[in-house]
Amino acid sequence: MVAPSCSMLHSPVDLAQEAKMDEQIKNWMAFATQKVEEIATLATALNDGEASITDALEKSNAVAEERRTSPRIHNQDVKARVKAITPEMAQRDHVFAERRPAQQAALGLPSYPTTTIGSFPQTIEIRKARASFKKGELPEVEYNAAMKKEIEEVVRYQESIDMDVLVHGEAERNDMVEYFGEQLDGYVFSKLGWVQSYGSRCVKPPIIYGDVSRPNPMTVAWTQYAQSLTERSMKAMLTGPITILCWSFVRDDQPRSETCRQIGLAIRDEVGDLEKAGIKVIQVDEPAIREGLPLRRADWDTYLTWAVESFKLSTCCVEDSTQIHTHMCYAEFNDIIDSIAALDADVISIETSRSKMELLDAFVTFKYPNEIGPGVYDIHSPRIPSVEEMTGLLEKAAKVIPSDQIWVNPDCGLKTRGWAEVKPALENMINAAKKIRAKESGAKVA
Ligand code: GLN
Ligand code: ZN
């Protein structure tokens, strides 16, 4: 029997359907249909001798050689930059205890500060505008105006409910990886390269074919616009290098660690530009860090070392006073908690509400050094949590984490929810924070 080494479930179907893809890059790839054809070719060779597939072999070797030596894959500037990485580049100037007062002075936040994870509901209007802009039906000026209107609405809404650290809502983003891939060099996109993500959800991972770099700022204009609308701190929103790597199709001609470092440098450029644009809080999402773990436990340390280094490379270029956040969607990370702490993000938000804060068990023995937002609102459900429920969860968290380290936020982004549930839930969340602040200051006075 001649068969592929694993199921084709995670391969897109047919490369021949990609009419718009760059012809040269397209030649370097095989989707499921092409892989099956190759299997048939190999079977022919086994049955009828290698001479029977000479043409196919020559063609395939020529393509492989063309790819290996192509200047489109190899960007010498990127390679030189990766080579020149120093340990200091992946280290903040000072430890968290010293950065903290600088951030407190810069941000002036209350205890139990409130924020969200980034996205607000992606309404039908938002999706429509993006789709018709992509099709070329909606002119760019009109699309930009529509997105600006969305941003202004979510900013005003967050101000109206007294949120402490605001977000711009991510209306302009289709997907948290594709959005960045589209703006990075070294990426191509398929039109129909859908693969299953989980259940009935499918994603169209962008394809990394060459050295990755960032030709231009990717998010600065939107974030700066959002910040210009408000006196409150606007939190910029980026996807981190590990997640961009894990949720893309990656090259097989260099180690994943190398590609991850390249992406880390690209995100570093963005972080630096956001800081220069006056943004004081920057979130770099890494929901994929755990799923990137190799199958064999013996390989974990190596992975975690380069993964943590890539994250830090992307974030450690900022001043002490600039606050770096990160976010992880699920939190079975008891066994990698040292690495999570080693990311040295000033604030981390994690999922906890569904497990009723059980995962905080890890924090009983492990004293998490920086600030942490254990999600109090389960965004996977349309249910609206009450104020009491959320104060209960916060009190539970405060038993294992010092209260001055706790942030108040939902479990994840709100893009799949509707406004009808999001509004009351967030308002309850803010009231829960206020209630617990009042209770604690009352306790202190007494
Ligand atoms: N910032 C992203 C959002 O809010 C994070 C999504 C995620 O964690 N998967 O949508
Ligand atoms: Zn999440």
Report d(CA 163, CA 289) in Å as an integer.
28
Going by their DSSP bridges, the two strands 281-285 and 323-328 should be labelled as parallel
Q: State in Å: Cα 34 to ligand 1 middle.
A: 34
Measured in Å, residue 121 CA sits from the centre of ligand 2 at 14
Nearest ligand 1 atom, CA 327: 8
User: What is the model's pTM?
Assistant: 0.95
Ligand with smallest separation from the Cα of 329:
2
Cα–Cα distance measured from residue 355 to residue 266, given in angstroms and rounded to the nearest whole number: 35
263 near 212, Cβ under 8 Å? yes
CB distance 288 to ligand 1 below 6 Å: no
Whether 311 has a pLDDT exceeding 90, the answer reads yes
> 237-259, pLDDT tens digit by residue?
999 999 999 999 999 999 999 99
- Ligand 1 pocket test, candidate residues 122, 198, 203, 237, most atoms within 8 A of CB: 237
Ligand nearest to the CA of 373: 2
Whether the per-residue pLDDT at 200 is higher than 90: the answer is no
CB of 329 shorter than 6 A to ligand 1: yes
Give the residue whose CA is nearest to atom 5 of ligand 1: 413
The response to whether residue 331 sits with its C-beta less than 6 Å from ligand 1 reads: no
pLDDT of the residue at 61 = 96
Per-chain residues with Cβ under 5 A from ion ligand 2: 287, 329, 412
- Which residue numbers are catalytic? 380
Alpha-helical runs (H) found in 161-210: 178-181
Average pLDDT, the chain: 94
φ/ψ region of 398 (left if φ > 0, alpha if ψ in -120 to 50, else beta) reads alpha
pLDDT over threshold 90, residue 202 = no
Phi then psi dihedrals of residue 345, to 5 deg: -70, 145
The string of pLDDT tens digits covering residues 13-47 is 999 999 999 999 999 999 999 999 999 999 999 99
pLDDT at 446 over 70: no
pLDDT tens digits for range 261-299: 999 999 999 999 999 999 999 999 999 999 999 999 999
* Ligand 1 atom closest to the CA of 119, numbered from 1: 4
Which ligand is nearest the CA of 117, by number? 1
Task: Return the exposure string of 337-376: e unless at least 16 CB atoms fall within 10 Å of the residue's CB, then b.
Answer: bebbbbbbbbbbbbbbbebebebbebbeeeebebbbbbbb
